[in-house]
Structure 1
């Protein structure tokens, strides 16, 4: 379970960071997950930031889960 959460958190963080970079510079067109969601038009930057923060939170939760099981 810990490895799954770490991987999911890492992917969320990378997608969020790529979305922020895409919104600010125009790079990483293929990595942007948020820009493909039509209901977030105009809020892509905020959603990408939230996605990155969510990824960090999931990775921290996975780390804490691993410490408790020992």
Structure 2
């Protein structure tokens, strides 16, 4: 379970960073830009993904490995 939480946290942080990169550099990366109802709110969604990733990493740290 710990590895799964770490993996999901990594994906959330990665997608959050790619969403911010897309927003500030106009590179076509990330999944946030592809979600239609987030039009105009991509920065907020990317920051929320970064926070979610941090929370998932914290949850993974609190779990025992065995």
TM-score by length of 2: 0.90
The match for 2:39 among 38, 41, 48 is 41
Partner of 2:40: helix, strand, or coil?
A: coil
Structure 2 unmatched runs, 5+:
none
Distance (Å, rounded) in 2 between the aligned partners of 1:33 and 1:52: 13
Which stretches of structure 1, 4 residues or longer, exceed 4 Å deviation after superposition?
Answer: none
Give the total of aligned pairs.
66
TM-score by length of 1: 0.85
- What do you get for the CA RMSD once the two structures are aligned? 1.4
User: 1:7 matched to which residue of 2?
Assistant: 7
Structure 1 unmatched runs, 5+:
none
Shift of 1:53: 1.0
